[in-house]
Amino acid sequence: MGIITITFPNPLNVSIQEGDTAYYTNDVNGKNIQVIGEITSVSGSTIMVEEQPTLATVSEGVLTLDSFILFSKTSLVNSSGLKGYYAEMQFKNDAVDYAELFLVGSEIFESSK
């Protein structure tokens, strides 16, 4: 296991953060996606990834300049719904025919106190 530094020629997606998981594929159809590891640092257009023990090292040619790199968010931190103190909704029907609202649902929890 080691740290892999990956620098991209373009700016990174604004939602990438430490703790996300980085993946790669060399398959043009994207069907063979492999885990690189957990992202440990994000800076400018560079990420540092803690390599998984099962991944062959970069020196063995697994990651190349043509590899497609992607990431996923951790479900432990990014699993809640909307957060805030206020919500307002308005349902409006401009149809002249009879209409019925079947179901409305919400998720409410105290996010800070």
Note the pLDDT tens digit of each residue in 64-99.
888 899 999 876 665 555 556 666 788 888 888 888
Residue 46, domain member (yes or no): yes
What proportion of the chain, given as a percentage, has pLDDT over 70? 75
Q: Is residue 101 part of a domain?
A: no
Check: pTM over 0.85? Answer yes or no.
no
**Neighbouring residues of 88: CB distance < 8 A, sequence distance ≥ 6:** none
Tokens of residue 100, six digits: 């019925």
Confidence bin at 33 (pLDDT 50/70/90): confident
For 47, the domain range is 3-72
* Domain contains 54: yes
Supply the mean pLDDT for the chain.
80
Angstrom CA distances, 45 to 7, 8, 22, 38, 91, stand at 6, 5, 14, 17, 43
DSSP 15-80: T--TT-EEEEE--TTS---EEEEEEEEEETTEEEEEE-TTSPPGGGTSS-TT-EEEEE--TTTS--
- Residues 37-43, mean pLDDT to the nearest whole number: 93
- Judge whether 12 lies within some domain: yes
Q: Is the pLDDT of residue 55 over 60?
A: no
Note whether residue 77 is domain-resident: no
Euclidean distance between CA atoms 15 and 83, whole angstroms: 17
Name the residue among 59, 73, 60, 69 with its Cα closest to residue 34: 69
For residue 7, being part of any structural domain is answered with yes
- Would residue 97 count as lying in a domain? no
Q: What are phi and psi of 10, to 5 degrees?
A: -120, 165
Q: Is the pLDDT assigned to residue 104 strictly greater than 60?
A: yes
Does 18 map to a domain? yes
Q: How many domains does the chain have?
A: 1
